[in-house]
Amino acid sequence: MRVRKVANAPVSFGVFELSDGPPPLTPDEMVRALAEAGYEGIDSGPIGYLGTGSELRERLSGAGLLLCGGWVDLPFHDADAYEKALPTLTAALDVFAAAPAGDLPPRPTIACPGTPERFARPGGTAPGLPAAEWPAFAARIQDATERCRARGFEPAFHHHLGTHVETPDDVERLLELTDVQLCLDTGHLLLAGGDPVAALRAWSERVGHVHIKDGDTAVLARALDDGVDLRELMGRGGFAPLGEGELDLPAVVRTLDEIGYAGWIVIEQDTLPGRRTVAQNIADQAANRRKLKDLGL
């Protein structure tokens, strides 16, 4: 039987890093808001935000939510830095292992950090990883994949604006050189010049996790003209509420049905703290959930 569940994520409320200062919502406020909006799961956000061990398990169980996974970026481009960063992967997997058990386990969403050039000019216009460096880069991604599998988790790699895996061509190279599954993010792909619907069909056998996010290329164009970076693009609304950008959401949902996708569907709307009120963010995510429900998800 195909099992699909819908989750949301702390990034929709501007929670990216614990070092950014006090989050706009406490963990209990966030899980309560998402549960009341009809979500079945939540992304971890920065590791530790939702708690660890029994604290995490009790918090999510009390709200009736499962952990859908979480972001773990590792410097795959640098062999020494990668080895030094491996404890962060172990710590994240420890958190995932403590989450409430459910019929869909958490999916580690491994990724690479931003590069200065691409973070400054997101959208696929800045140079990417040199071709000669791809084999070693991909080998480290494969190593991280195997480490996740050894702990009983099947990871998915998250392509992302501002990173070495940003454009559709980058994703194709990643899929060619590894056997990691893909976390297909519709908004990041859209703003990197891709077609999310065509990508779902082309990469259907490798799609193991889905982030549904809208994008506005007009906001991206203005951001590039103004010389602002990826962070400010998010603050300006480059990732719009579902239905307010250019994503063909009904076609995405139909295509998920066509390819028989089973797994987590994570609604995200990346934004910065302070750009919208907490009440607006909560309302946005409730409205985003209704839009998917109206389409049968």
Position 213 scores a pLDDT of: 98
Position 18 scores a pLDDT of: 83
Q: What is the pLDDT along the chain (297 residues), one digit of tens a residue?
A: 578 999 999 999 999 988 777 888 999 999 999 999 999 999 999 999 999 999 999 999 999 999 999 999 999 999 999 999 999 999 999 999 999 999 999 999 999 999 999 999 999 999 999 999 999 999 999 999 999 999 999 999 999 999 999 999 999 999 999 999 999 999 999 999 999 999 999 999 999 999 999 999 999 999 999 999 999 999 999 999 999 999 999 999 999 999 999 999 999 999 998 888 999 999 999 999 999 999 999
End-to-end CA distance of the chain: 15
What is the domain range of residue 265? 5-295
Question: What tokens appear for 278 in the block?
Answer: 């907490």
Q: Give the type of residue at 178.
A: T
Q: Give the type of residue at 142.
A: Q
Q: Which helix (H) or strand (E) holds 190?
A: helix 186-191
Nearest CA to 3 among 71, 93, 99, 68? 68
Tell me which DSSP letter residue 180 carries: -
Position 1 scores a pLDDT of: 53
Largest Cα–Cα separation, the chain? 50
Helix axes 249-258, 278-294, angle to 10 degrees: 50
SS3 string of 40-69? CEEECCCCCCCCCHHHHHHHHHHHCCEEEE
CATH code for the domain in which residue 157 is found: 3.20.20.150
Residue pair 180/148 in contact (Cβ under 8 Å)? The answer is no
**Stated pTM of the model:** 0.97
What CA–CA distance (Å, rounded) separates 165 from 175?
Answer: 11
Number of domains within the chain = 1
